[in-house]
Amino acid sequence: MRILLLCSSFNGLTQRCWLELRRAGHDVGVELAVSEQAMVEAAELAKPDLVICPFLKERVPERLWQAHRTVIIHPGPPGDRGPSSLDWAILEAEPEWGVTALQAVEEMDAGPIWGFRTFAMPSEAPRKSALYNGPVADAAVELVAEVAAKAADPSFVPVPLDYRSPEVRGRLRRAMRHSDREFSWEESTEEIVRRVRAADGSPGGRSVLCDVPVRVFDVYRGPELGGRPGEVAARREGAVLVNTGDGSVWVGHVRLEQEGAVKLPAGLALGDRVASAPERSGYSEITYDRSDGVGVVSFDFYNGAMSSDQCRRLASALRYAVAQDTRVLVVRGGETFSNGIHLNVIEASRHPELEAWANINAINAVCREIVGCTSQLVVTSIGGNAGAGGVMMGLGADRVIIRESVVLNPHYRTMGLFGSEYWTYVLPRRVGAETARRLTRQALPVGAAEAVELGLADRMLAGSRLDFERRVLEYAERLAVDPGYDRLLAGRRQAREVDERRRPLDAYRAEELAEMSRDMFDDRHEFRAARRAFVHKVRAEVTPEHLVRLGGLSGASGAAGAGASHM
């Protein structure tokens, strides 16, 4: 079928839907909902058999849903309505939640139901972003495939929303207000964690810290200290430990409530206000574990962004791991594997270009440790999405294992950068020069199955992230005792030596950095504007050019002339 994806942004969920539908053989186009007119014109020009809205904040224009079958993917169970569904589900500790596919009608979220999925909510309050990118996205992708199949059946009729049905357990919930997100540090740790995580990603929990109004993100339970609530008791790796009414919480990120402020690591955002707080263990973004001949370096950076400081710490951890007497090194990412350099920290810096330069050099050092390790076999465990330099970082290993739901974006173009992280070495080495050129120029997402087919990854595994990590570790343990281990390690060393003689890694690095210096300091491809738009969440005015060309459908902005792809 001809399917048009109408969305507020081409985010991870929308990308997964696009990949799933294309893999099923459909002709799929994408249009950003930049205006009511753009949405209507996109459908008129594309003439789709079906319009699906996997992530849409705006109301679907009446002219569109009356002329085309339009299905909304709503992040709530049947009967749930309103724009703050996940926020309320987390805040009110719902034991079960779901996702519903419903037809667009005049009244928002009240249309007939095409299908739904439900899932158990974790007992510990999940971060909203983790809930959205995990069980919600998994359910939504299944539903999108189901909707497409049902749309091809002329006898299918969606079920009208009926609150008398036992399957309809949701209700209309109002949009969350600022007051719903406010909290006092005198509240319990449980209450604070739940309120902040219900707002994590955006817009954050509202409070006052160090006498400054802040938005709070990325919180974890701390020890029972008995200090004055709201007092910063300690700091560690950019996070600060804050006393609560019955314990403490580690606060990873905050945004000051002032014009132009951006979300930053809490210690960096609060600066001198917390400089005298003592360092304390109990919080770490990077860990190292070893067993049965396998060493595991695990890192979990908020939203996958890696600042200069984080990169230096990760490179140090990798150097330590490489020096151990283990036989296999597993490099394991977190909820998001990595998205490369930390654009927020760069944008907030007094000299952004210098910070960007320091950041790219620091992440290059991380990649060099992975590529250059010849004393152990290296396995990268990609259990969460990855983009730009984060993808290239993972490709330096002997074996790349990817989780089935992961989406990779192996390109830099939309941020106006040439890219570094030794991508001109590791990417063509895996997929060939022609495919490497296509991936970086088209700037389109790659699903896990396609990644294995292309050679970006060696193996795809299904299951939850914890199950995936367990299976990768089992694979690494088998590799460590494989009868052919010595041959495999010798092959890695020999390949590295041959490649180094042909062209040293330093040569790849120098050439990439020469290009990056022009992007960062001369701004030849509008890196500053693209970075600023990303950091400050500037709404796109048109559908970017690289999205207009998706599939065989013609979008409205394609006819009108799309804006620069760096948006």
Residue 175 placed within a domain: no
Question: What pLDDT digit, counting tens, does each position of 308-353 carry?
Answer: 999 999 999 999 999 999 999 999 999 999 999 999 999 999 999 9
Cα(210)–Cα(231) distance, integer angstroms: 7
pLDDT value of position 548? 81
Mean pLDDT, all residues of the chain: 95
HSE of 368, CA atoms in CB hemisphere, 13 A? 20
- Looking at the structure, do residues 235 and 307 belong to the same domain, yes or no? no
Cα(268)–Cα(262) distance, integer angstroms: 11
- Per the structure, the count of domains in the chain is 3
Which of these three, 133, 152, 171, is where a domain ends?
Answer: 152
Cα(74)–Cα(76) distance, integer angstroms: 6
pLDDT value of position 554? 45
Question: What pLDDT digit, counting tens, does each position of 55-72 carry?
Answer: 999 999 999 999 999 999
- Looking at the structure, do residues 135 and 214 belong to the same domain, yes or no? no
Residue 411 placed within a domain: yes
pLDDT value of position 112? 98
Asked if residue 31 lies in contact with residue 9, where contact means CB atoms within 8 angstroms, the answer is no
Which of these three, 239, 274, 309, is where a domain ends?
Answer: 274
Question: What pLDDT digit, counting tens, does each position of 406-448 carry?
Answer: 999 999 999 999 999 999 999 999 999 999 999 999 999 999 9
Asked if residue 378 lies in contact with residue 475, where contact means CB atoms within 8 angstroms, the answer is no
Determine how many CB atoms are found less than 10 A away from the CB of residue 515: 15
> Which of helix, strand or coil describes residue 479?
helix
| CATH number (domain holding residue 243) | 3.10.25.10
- Looking at the structure, do residues 236 and 294 belong to the same domain, yes or no? no
Cα(378)–Cα(397) distance, integer angstroms: 5
Residue 265 placed within a domain: yes
Question: What pLDDT digit, counting tens, does each position of 264-280 carry?
Answer: 999 999 999 999 999 99
- Looking at the structure, do residues 18 and 120 belong to the same domain, yes or no? yes
pLDDT value of position 553? 59
Task: Provide the percentage of residues in the chain whose pLDDT is more than 70.
Answer: 97
- Looking at the structure, do residues 351 and 498 belong to the same domain, yes or no? yes
Residue 224 placed within a domain: yes
- Looking at the structure, do residues 66 and 90 belong to the same domain, yes or no? yes
Residue 535 placed within a domain: no
Asked if residue 428 lies in contact with residue 371, where contact means CB atoms within 8 angstroms, the answer is no
pLDDT at 462 over 70: yes
The DSSP secondary-structure symbol of 304 reads: G
| CATH number (domain holding residue 349) | 3.90.226.10
Mean pLDDT over residues 376-395, rounded? 98
Question: What pLDDT digit, counting tens, does each position of 523-563 carry?
Answer: 999 999 999 999 999 999 999 988 886 755 544 444 333 32
Question: What pLDDT digit, counting tens, does each position of 213-251 carry?
Answer: 999 999 999 999 989 999 999 999 999 999 999 999 999
- Looking at the structure, do residues 433 and 332 belong to the same domain, yes or no? yes
CA 409-540-518 angle, 5° bins:
60
pLDDT at 162 over 90: yes
Residue 325 placed within a domain: yes
Mean pLDDT over residues 465-470, rounded? 97
Q: List, in sequence order, the alpha helices (H) in 421-504.
A: 423-431, 433-442, 448-454, 465-480, 485-502
Which of these three, 274, 299, 323, is where a domain ends?
Answer: 274
> Which of helix, strand or coil describes residue 66?
helix
* Ramachandran region, residue 486 (left: φ > 0; alpha: ψ -120 to 50; beta: rest): alpha
- Looking at the structure, do residues 270 and 314 belong to the same domain, yes or no? no
Which range of residues forms the domain containing residue 226?
Answer: 180-274
- Looking at the structure, do residues 308 and 251 belong to the same domain, yes or no? no
- Looking at the structure, do residues 306 and 376 belong to the same domain, yes or no? yes
Question: What pLDDT digit, counting tens, does each position of 100-115 carry?
Answer: 999 999 998 999 999 9
- Looking at the structure, do residues 10 and 128 belong to the same domain, yes or no? yes
Residue 262 placed within a domain: yes
Residue 539 placed within a domain: no
* Ramachandran region, residue 324 (left: φ > 0; alpha: ψ -120 to 50; beta: rest): beta
Asked if residue 534 lies in contact with residue 343, where contact means CB atoms within 8 angstroms, the answer is yes
- Looking at the structure, do residues 452 and 307 belong to the same domain, yes or no? yes
Burial (CB count within 10 angstroms: exposed 0-12, middle 13-18, buried 19+), residue 213: exposed
